Amino acid sequence: MGGVTKPALLAISHGTASAEGQNAVAALVAAVAARLPDVTVRLGHVDVQQPDVAASLDALPDEQPIVIVPLLLSAGYHVRIDLAEQTAGREGVTIAPALGPDPRLVDALLERLAPLRPADADAVVLAVAGSSDDRANDDCRAIGTMLGERLGREVTVGFLAAAEPRLDAAVIEASRGGAPVVVADYLLAPGYFHNLAVRLADPAPVARPLLDDDEPAASLVELVVERYLDARA
């Protein structure tokens, strides 16, 4: 960049109390750092974990430009309000869009669904966290539509909080015709919401979240890298 300091990539996750979820998100950020060896890559959180956004910014030099990449699947309150407010006092900060909706997330969902071997006759429900900002819920509905197009069938969206239909109701409705139901898990990592999805969907099987204890999907790494490069440009 012609002698100009390259912006740091500050990946900001929601944060989770789950050790498995923490490790899964950290592995994604480590994979992103490996793809960008000449860029300072750090991980922070908007809730639950430390460092929070303020501490993450303070840990970088004042003169360091920063691109924040939200490790969030939709543009809800944390992206639209929290990050804007928490970075307001710092110059040189650019906030990239949320990760979703994006076709690469559908790629990852399909990879996670594959071990459940959904048959053509099976009903598919997409489990999503849900938000008080319906624009974020619309982002998740868009992923449901994209997944349905790839599968060649309708995909129902079931919310875990803040919106309707709730996942348990969506699973019951999808099974009314007698078709077996499989649940795609549109959650970034293991934790409270994934455990809730498993309970609410029972007896329908639930796919693994997008990140787990295996290597992060190349499509997810590429998505985070692209969000950074686009915002940097």
pLDDT tens per residue across span 121-152: 899 999 999 999 999 999 999 999 999 999 99
Which fold does the domain 8-100+215-232 belong to in CATH? Rossmann fold (3.40.50)
Greater model confidence, 177 or 30 = 30
Confidence check: pLDDT of 2 > 90: no
At 1, the pLDDT band (50, 70, 90 cuts) reads very low
The residues spanned by each domain of the chain are 8-100+215-232, 103-201
Q: Give per-residue pLDDT as tens, 92-131.
A: 999 999 999 999 999 999 999 999 998 988 999 999 999 9
Tell me, what's the pLDDT at 80?
Answer: 64
Domains 8-100+215-232 and 103-201 in one fold: yes
- pTM of the entire predicted model: 0.94
Q: Give per-residue pLDDT as tens, 13-38.
A: 999 999 999 999 999 999 999 999 99
Tell me, what's the pLDDT at 50?
Answer: 94
H/E element, 80: none
Q: Which are the contacts of 208, defined by CB distance < 8 A and separation ≥ 6?
A: 112, 115, 185
Which fold does the domain 103-201 belong to in CATH? Rossmann fold (3.40.50)
